[in-house]
Amino acid sequence: MSGGGMGLQRLARVFFPLTLVLVLLYITSVRLPEVQLSECMEDGKPCVEALMEKEMSLAAGKAVNPAILPSAKGPSHPEVEVYIKHCEGKAFQIKRLLAAFRACMTPDGQILLKEYLAGWEELIKFMDALGTVFGFISQETITKINIMHSHRTGKHSAEYRTLQSMVEYELQDNVVNFKELPRNRTPSGCRTVLRLHRALKWLELFLYKLATSTDHENTSDMCAEAYEVALARHHSWFIRQAAALAFLALPPRRALFDIVCVQEEHEAQLVLMTTVKAIVGVYNRTQEMYSANGMLDLP
């Protein structure tokens, strides 16, 4: 091969990754502010704050109406609760994330959509804390959460109280399209939650790897491996390349501990595994529901 041809190949190897980086920077710096999260509200407060107040009321021994705590579980191990702290001055609080997913599932296995979306609002804050290059991921997630908020507050809001009621309503009303993505209508709740559901597996696996790894392991590799298992097959080639670049910018493991407000190894394992356990319960129940209705591959 001529020297000119080899030079072009070297230029392409440098130019292509640079182009992807510039596209990511453009997306995160220009497009992200255009999409604002319509936060879930209850009694004039964000849903997660309302859920935490209910948990605090229980801890203080006050009487709480069981109807507003449909998913109240037995108390967690006291040692875990000691380490789940409030991080002053930080938007992401793992305590709020845990509260939302704990409150997400009722004793009879119903998935409460308001609480589910509240958990996702906290996960977006977690992704934002990982760095600005994750903006293109959180932006798409915000769009999906806003779609679900519009369903929950729309004409048929009563049908969107739980995942089960939503699935039953949309199947009976022929809202779910099994063959192609509708272009001239708002995406169905079933399709929208499925996208969130897939991403939830990615974050669940990443948090699990973070909890069970050592400081010698690379967080970029952990995140990439979780993405490959849970999400890669559902994304285009371009999105996969952009995600791979975003993962390279992840901070080291100890810096991620700071994001979840823990210091020591045993603290991190307890807090992260407790959070993973809450997410896994919700994920598995959702997976069962979608599988039973043949909706795991909605376009």
* Cβ atoms within 10 Å, residue 81: 16
pLDDT of 252-282, one tens digit each?
999 999 999 998 898 999 999 999 999 999 9
Alpha-carbon distance of 13 to 212, in angstroms, equals 35
Q: Which run of H or E residues covers position 165?
A: helix 163-172
Nearest to 112 by CA among 40, 199, 195, 175: 40
Alpha-carbon distance of 100 to 82, in angstroms, equals 18
> In 3-state terms, what secondary structure has residue 6?
helix
> ∠173-163-279 over CA atoms, to 5°?
155
| Token duo for residue 77 | 């191990």
Helix axes 189-212, 163-172, angle to 10 degrees: 150
Helix axes 113-129, 163-172, angle to 10 degrees: 110
Report the C-alpha dihedral over residues 39, 42, 46, 50, rounded to 10 degrees.
Answer: -150
pLDDT averaged per 10 residues, the chain (length 299): 53 47 42 44 48 40 32 46 79 93 94 96 93 80 95 94 97 86 81 96 95 93 95 90 89 93 89 94 96 93
Nearest to 295 by CA among 156, 195, 202, 160: 195
What superfamily in CATH does domain 35-66+76-292 come from? Glycolipid transfer protein (1.10.3520.10)
> Whole-prediction pTM value?
0.75
pLDDT of 77-117, one tens digit each?
555 666 788 888 899 999 999 999 999 999 999 999 999 99
Contact criterion met (CB below 8 Å) for 176 and 170 = yes
